[in-house]
Structure 1
Amino acid sequence: MTQDTQDVQYGTAVASVYDSLIAPAMPAEAAVDRLRPHVTGAHVLEIGVGTGRVAIPVSAIAAQVVGLDNSRPMLDEFRAKTVPRNVSLVRADFREPLPVTGPFDAAYSTMGSLACVDNREQLTAALSHVREVLAPGATLSLEYYATNAYRPLVKQHTVTMPTPHHGGTTTFTVTLDDADVLTMGTRIDEDGKPPVEFSEHVLLLERNEVEVCLNLAGFTVEHVYAAEGMQPYDWYTARATK
């Protein structure tokens, strides 16, 4: 989830490498398998649709998908593909009331999109905006940054690793402030190409705190798939209260 009016995080730099370098490192199949019981034949909302990594395979089993993102460059990358006929794209900021027509049967957000907030109150408000467009009893599935993976990176501060599927390296520079805002600078050095650099700012919360925000926003958490090892995200399945 990104913005080009304020706090732009996943703008032109990310869009330029997302499908070639970032998306291949996070195959969509596992996410689609977890979503399948909730989205099959359903009217679905994706928050942080990006370039369509998950929306495209979900559209093959859902009745309709509305993909929301506030990054114009990421949406432009999606539109440059063949957008499935049952997918609609909307540019909007989830921190404000959503300009979409519900009620949706299910919503989902992958790769920590909903963590792109400044504090717990803002996260709760964003989740409430999602709840407002869901049908009673609808499911919300989301990936949220796993503290088990990111707190060790904060201690290391700078980590360089080979870039998956390509030559070159990716370097992460990670800090965490007293308000639990994680800042991660990323530099991608691909062989024979200029480096690509961007920065992310996300709210890093323990799982129980994410659950509190979900509850305050009108959701009941049904299951949490905790990240294993150094997997980057926990997966939450919650249901809109009736």
Structure 2
Amino acid sequence: MQQEQMWNSDVAQRYDTPGTGMFAPDTLGPTVERLAQLAGEGAALEFAVGTGRVAVPLAERGVPVTGIELSRPMVDQLRTKADEATIPVVIGDMAATVAPGTYSLVYLVFNTISNLLTQPEQVECFRNAARHLTVGGRFVIELWVPELRSLPPGRTATVWQTDRDYIGLDTYDVLNQHVVSHHFHFDDTEQAQLYRSPHRYIWPAELDLMAQLAGFELESRHGDWSGGEFTAESRSHVSVYRIPLTSLS
């Protein structure tokens, strides 16, 4: 399934969960706070801006935000919260689409770089970030760590969340470095709703090499948006890349 088909009107309509999940204050608050610090006095560009989960509160903090987004239905949902003047959006692929202007910060949150399903596309995403940045600008990526250690021999799936009305599991193709996330939503009936999304997973070391190919260096890596330590047990990371000032002189 193409990404344009996956992020359709039905998904856009149910994507927002105000106050819970990705939209919970203890999740969203530290994200916006850290990005506002990194943007400083400059403007920010969000790759895959979606419905504005991060862009809207970041703009409310006074940071000028522009977005690039492949899905028109997701942008339609964003427009219920912010108009074009407040958060301009360019429709297109984050690996190749160019937004007008320059930025002190480009960011990609909630594992979205893995929506690009080939290594060359992911490398081009870094290069696209670099072409938008001012001298000393930063590219920030939030990404999960593949849970391959949870796979015993002969198994191809891991269950990563179980709730009263939800089960999340991933099926791995380790030969091609692909994973499909399966999201099962159910109620008290015998029926369940399934949503699936394909990804190409990236190890932190591979991500760092992609950054080097685009002229970045790793500035910091933490286990969360609040600055927690990144360890061998961390399930995700927030990595900040910066183009060295000496390389732009």
Q: TM-score, normalised by structure 2?
A: 0.80
Report the RMSD for the aligned CA atoms in angstroms: 2.8
Q: What is the match of residue 61 of structure 2?
A: 61
Residue pair 2:171, 2:181 contacting (<8 A) in 1 also? yes
Q: What is the match of residue 175 of structure 2?
A: 178
Mapping for residues 1-242 of structure 1, pairs under 5 Å: 3-4=3-4, 8-20=5-17, 22-24=21-23, 27-83=27-83, 85-96=85-96, 98-147=97-146, 149=147, 152=150, 157=157, 159=159, 161-162=162-163, 168-190=165-187, 195-226=192-223, 232-241=235-244, 242=248
**Contiguous gaps of at least 5 residues in structure 2:** 224-229
Q: CA deviation at 1:156?
A: 7.2
Question: Per-residue displacement from partner, 1:13-42 (whole Å, max 9, x unpaired)?
Answer: 432322126533683112112212212432
Q: CA deviation at 1:75?
A: 1.4
Distance 1:206 1:181 in 2: 12
Residue pair 1:47, 1:68 contacting (<8 A) in 2 also? yes
Does the residue aligned with 1:87 lie in a helix, a strand or coil? Answer: coil
Which 4+ runs in 1 deviate beyond 4 A?
153-156, 190-195, 227-232
Q: Which moved more, 1:13-22 or 1:110-119?
A: 13-22
Q: 1:52–1:191: structure 2 CA closer, same or farther, 3 Å change rule?
A: farther
Residue pair 1:69, 1:92 contacting (<8 A) in 2 also? yes
Distance 2:143 2:15 in 1: 19
Q: CA deviation at 1:157?
A: 1.9
Q: What is the match of residue 226 of structure 2?
A: none
What one-letter code is carried by the residue in structure 1 that aligns with 2:34?
R
Distance 1:221 1:138 in 2: 12
Question: Per-residue displacement from partner, 1:123-169 (whole Å, max 9, x unpaired)?
Answer: 1111101211111210111112212x46527957253611xxxx622
Question: Per-residue displacement from partner, 1:96-137 (whole Å, max 9, x unpaired)?
Answer: 2x2311211111110011121223222111110121111121
Which is higher, the Rg of structure 1 or of structure 2? 2
Does the residue aligned with 1:135 lie in a helix, a strand or coil? Answer: strand
Distance 1:76 1:194 in 2: 30
Residue pair 1:109, 1:142 contacting (<8 A) in 2 also? yes
- Residues matched between the structures, number: 232
**Contiguous gaps of at least 5 residues in structure 1:** none
The share of aligned pairs that are identical, in percent, is 20
Q: 1:9–1:240: structure 2 CA closer, same or farther, 3 Å change rule?
A: farther
Residue pair 1:12, 1:74 contacting (<8 A) in 2 also? yes
Distance 1:17 1:41 in 2: 34
